[in-house]
Each structure stands twice: as structure tokens, then as C-alpha cells.
Chain A
Amino acid sequence: MTVQEGVLTKRRRRPLPPLGFIISLGFLTVVIFGAVFANVLPIDPLAQNIVDSLKPPSGSHWFGTDELGRDIMARVIFGARTSLVTAAGAVIIAALIGVPIGLVAGYFGGWRDTVLMRFIDVLLALPNILLAMALIAVLGRSQTAALIAVGVAGVPSFARIARAQVLTLRQLDFVSAVRGFGCSSSYIMFRTILPNILSPLMVQVIVLSSVAILLEAALAFLGVGVPPPTPSWGEMLRTGKSYLYEAPYYAVLPGLVLTLTILSFDTIGKQMSRALDPRSGGGTPGELERAGP
């Protein structure tokens, strides 16, 4: 088949029923359920039992036990909580800072645009994992620091998307009409334009969640993220790496859950952006924005 034919057939074909989307949604539901109800479940991520250390997966410990005899599955479930809380906090920070920057820069243009976008350029001057590491070097190592660091790293993508959307919307009649009524700029930005750009921003929320989970795990893996003994997927991979010979499952299973979570978010984000813009191939811009691990 020639390249040209390939292009044409692809354009006419209707998308397959998104099986991956359903699986992803199901998997994330389980992860979120586990994270929310971790306290209620009869598991303890901190209970040590040295006699049972580094035991392979069995009926009583489905994922095996770690070097202190703690149940790995319990730690994975509580790790989900650490991951999701950090990611959610980070996405909220990124949106609260990034969206207003993008709105103001796009709406007013001129010097405000130049100054704000120069600031965004500075944030982009470092790959985002390094930006996060630099922030942690200043803030010290804690869950809050990890959350802020990951959040700040996500600011540019929200700012850019909001700005691009505003640039197209501000020319439209309904915006001019509201301006004609004599409404203030902030009313137009936050009450007229913002509600109309929520869909692309929601896609970005999903995309950035996946980036944030990965970044949080990478920071913990590097030993600068959420400090132990708080269970975290990245930290488990870090420790598990020291026991690859004795207990290979230790690093493999938490890593598998982490990977599936990230892939699920990616799949859902792709599906959402495809639904919003059927012309796009469904590739998410954020997939490549994660810059790093």
C-alpha cells in the first residue's frame, strides 16, 4: 500500500470502540477506590515483622513482603493515596497559577503578555524534573515540597493552553457583545471566556495528572520526593532496586501498578481530546511535555 492510500483509508475509517478506554477507566476506579478507602481496609502499611522479611507473594501477602516484613500490597494501596494526593494538589496549584497567567497574557496582550510569557519561559528553561529538584533543594524534602515542586513544573502548560484559547475567543462576537455592555476586563476573562475554555483545560487536567504521578514517583525514586516511611511507589522502587537478587517482585509489582496508572491516565486523556477535536489524531500534547523520567 502506498503512503497516500494509507492516509486516505485512515481518514475514512471510524474509530474502533475504545476498549482501552474502558479498561483504563476500570483500573483507575480501582486505584482511586483503594486510595480513598485505604484506611478502612484491614491492612497496615507500617506494620513490621522482621521474621517475614522479603517473602515472595503468597496467600497472606499477595505482593510479598519488603525488607522489614511489611506487606507490599498494603504499601502499594497506601502509595496510591500518596501519589493521587500529590498529583491532585499539584494539578490544582498548576491550574490556579497557570490559568490566570494565560488568561491575562492572552486577553490583554502587549507588555503584560511579554512579561508573563517571559516568566513562563524561565520556568521552561529547565526540564521539569530538574525544576522540581531545584525547588526541593530550596524547600527541603517533604510531601508538601514535592507537591509544590510538581505543581510549579505544571504551570507553563496551563498558561500556554489558556493563552492560546483566549487568543481565538477574544475576537468572537459574544465576547465583543459582553465588552459592549461595559463589563470589566476581569468579568470578561473569568465569567465570559473561562467557562468557554473549560473543556480543553479539563483535558489538560487529566494529562497533567499522569505527568504529576510520574514526576512524584521519579522524585521519590531519586530520594528527593516524599520522605519515608510514608509509602510511595517511587520510594518502593528505590528500595526494591537494592533487593533485585533476593526479591525481584519487590520492585516489579509497585512499578507495574505505577505504569498502569500512568498509561490509564494517558489513554483517557487521549480519548477526551479526540472527543473534543475529532480532527486531531488523539495524541495529547502533554504526553511529551513530561520531559523526563
Chain B
Amino acid sequence: MTGFILRRLAQLIPVLLIASFAIWAMIFAVPGGPVGMMVGENATPEEIAAATRKLGLDRPIPVQYFNWLTHAVTGDFGQSLHSRDPVTKLIGERLPATLQLALVSILVALVIGIPVAITGAVKEGSWVDRLLNGWNALALGVPTFWLGILLILLFSVELRWLPSASRYVPLWEDPNQALRSLILPGLTLGLYVSGILARFLKASLVSEARADYVRTARAKGVSERQIVGHHIMQNALLPFITIVGLMVANFIGGAVVTEAVFTYPGLGRLLIQAISTRDYPLIQGCIVVILVIYMAISLIVDILYAVIDPRIEYR
């Protein structure tokens, strides 16, 4: 088991190295290079020389990259060019907001996606199934940002029930306010994720339903509810776990867009602001953090899968 985890970690290393090198190299895309970025356009040659030394740009490229990497590993991405705050501090302020949105969206996705998948699988081929398939196609096909706008039009502009722009209020400080701010973005992102969840879970359920042990259980006279809830569901969840990684990718992308629709102060919006002001250290920091979160979740999922499914060998 330990060997399996270690090998899985070892596989990540080349990907992380190449990706981090690409992210580091972004800084050279700035007009005027990293030095111009630091001293501005009207700098004297002395200022430029001083900045070059300070940034370590007079050293060989591999050394420069290695220096950046060692700082990055300890969570130091330098200063934002715009606010001059440490990048880590800015990201730290936004991360809880995104996590809170993620939590609510996952809840929404589970509450909608699981019943849709089970009903679709049990009634496969019926008109209910076709209706639910259509619903799923919509959940997947309607762009998140347009869905968000439609929800704002209905709940904020017409009905005036909920705010159109969401603030970040920590759930534990003021649950009521926090939820009011989170319902619309959570619904927008959650509906999209529920589409993916339902589609895969249903496919998984349907293929498990054809297995011999289901026939045996039915022959024994086990109730249909027991068969679906216990026998099929438990086995169907296994292949389903493998697509969680894919869902996380969809989820992160969806979160960036959702935050933009509701002007929600999360990590995604920080990244967009950073890109539009060409704040490279901040862009690098955001992308590295997202990359690491994404890879960590994929890794955990793989390990979980191996732990849960006794049929997988760790060799």
C-alpha cells in the first residue's frame, strides 16, 4: 500500500516540475520583462541594474528557477505588483470564500444528482428516464454564466428575494446572511455539477444492475429497495469514484465563472483581476494553488479507490 502511494506520488513529480517551470517562465512574457515590471518604464540604467541584481536575474536560468521553486514550495510567491501585498496573504483571504461556495454547490449537486441518477436507472427506458436525460443534458449544456444570469433575473430582479451580487460572509458568523449570499451561486454551480454526477452515477448503476449477484439477490426474494439501495448502489459507487477527478476539474472551472457572474470574492475572481492587471506574481500564485488543490484531490481519490476496492492490487 505504501509502495502504491509512493509510486503514485512519483508519477506526479515530472508533471509538477514541467508545469511549475511553465508557470515560472510566464514572468518573462511581461512587456519589459520582470525588471521593467518592477521599476516601471522610466527607470534609469542604474535602477534597472539594481533591480536585476535584486531579482537575481543576473544568475543562470536554472538557478533562477530553482530559487523561485524553493520559495514557492514554502508558499512564498512574492508581492502583488498592484497592491504590494504578499501574494500568499491575498490568496489566503479568498480561499475560504471559494471553499464555502464549493461546499454549498456540492450539497446542491448531491441533493439533485443522486435522486435523478437512481430514478433514471430504476425507470430506464421509460418516459421519466427520458425526461431526466433531457434535464441532465440541459444541466450540462446550458453555460453556467447564462444560467446564473437567468437565476438573477428571476430571484433578484423579478421576485426580489435574493441579492444579485454575493458577498462573502463566513457561515459560522452569520449563517442567515451567508446562505442568502450563497443560494444563487451555489445553485448555479451545483446544477451544473449535478448533471455530471447524475450521468455517470446512472451509467454505473445501470451496468451494475446487469450483474449476476443482482439476479441472485432477486431470486432470493430480496426487496427491490434493498437491491437498489444496498447491493447495486454500493458497487456502483466504486467506478463512480474514478470520475470524481474529472468532476473536480469541471468544478474548479465552473467556480471561476460562477464567481464572476455573482461578483463573489473568491479565488477565481482574484485570478481574473490578476490577469486583467497583468499582475504576474499573483497569477502564478493563484494557478499554483489551484493546480496543487486539483492534483491533491486526484491523488486522494486514487488512493481512496485503492483502499475501498479490495480487487485493486497495489503492485
Chain A residues with CB under 8 Å of B32's CB are: none
Residues of B within 8 A of A221 (CB): 145, 257, 260
Q: Provide the residues of chain A in CB contact with B142, threshold 8 Å.
A: 259, 263
- B157 x A244 contact (CB < 8 A): yes
Of the listed stretches A102-110, A128-136, A188-196, A199-207, chain B binds A128-136
Establish whether residues A127 and B257, one from each chain, have CB atoms under 8 Å apart when the complex forms. no
Whether A138 pairs with B29 at a CB distance below 8 angstroms is yes
Number of interface residues, chain B, beta carbon within 8 A: 71
| A13 at interface, CB cutoff 8 A | yes
**Residues of B with C-beta under 8 A to A266:** 137, 141
Q: Contacts of B294 on A, CB cut-off 8 Å?
A: 125-127
* B124 x A293 contact (CB < 8 A): no
- The answer for the CA separation of A244 and B22 in the assembled complex, in Å, is 40
CB of B153 within 8 A of CB of A262, answer no
Q: Which residues A117-158 have CB closer than 8 A to chain B?
A: 118-119, 121-122, 125-130, 133-134, 136-139
Pair B146/A255 contact, Cβ less than 8 Å: yes
What per-residue 1/0 map shows which CB atoms of B255-277 lie under 8 Å from chain A?
Answer: 01100110000000001101110
Does B252 have its Cβ within 8 Å of any Cβ on chain A? yes
Q: Once the chains bind, are A293 and B157 in contact (CB under 8 Å)?
A: no
Q: Does A283 contact B (CB under 8 A)?
A: yes
Q: How far is it, in angstroms, between the C-alpha of A129 and the C-alpha of B215 when the chains are bound?
A: 44
**Interface size counted on chain A using CB atoms at 8 A:** 56
Q: Is the CB of A288 within 8 A of B196?
A: yes
Closest-CB distance, A9 to chain B (whole angstroms)? 5
Dominant secondary structure at the A interface: helix
Total A-B residue pairs with C-beta atoms closer than 8 Å?
189
Interface residues of B in 82-123 (CB under 8 A from A): 121-123
A to B CB contacts below 8 Å, 17 in the list: A7-B210, A9-B124, A10-B124, A122-B19, A125-B19, A134-B283, A134-B287, A137-B283, A217-B143, A222-B260, A244-B153, A244-B156, A252-B153, A255-B145, A266-B141, A292-B257, A293-B254
The list of the 8 closest CB pairs from A to B, nearest first, reads A292-B253, A6-B124, A10-B125, A255-B146, A3-B209, A127-B253, A138-B29, A127-B249
Residues of B at the A interface (CB closer than 8 Å) are: 14-16, 18-19, 22-23, 26, 29, 121-126, 129, 137-138, 140-146, 149-150, 152-153, 156-157, 164, 196, 199-200, 203, 205-206, 209-210, 214-215, 218, 224, 227-228, 232, 243, 246, 249-250, 252-254, 256-257, 260-261, 271-272, 274-276, 278, 280, 283, 287, 290-291, 294-295
List 9 additional A-B contacts (Cβ < 8 Å) besides A130-B256, A134-B26. Answer: A10-B125, A121-B15, A222-B256, A251-B149, A252-B150, A256-B146, A263-B138, A292-B144, A292-B253
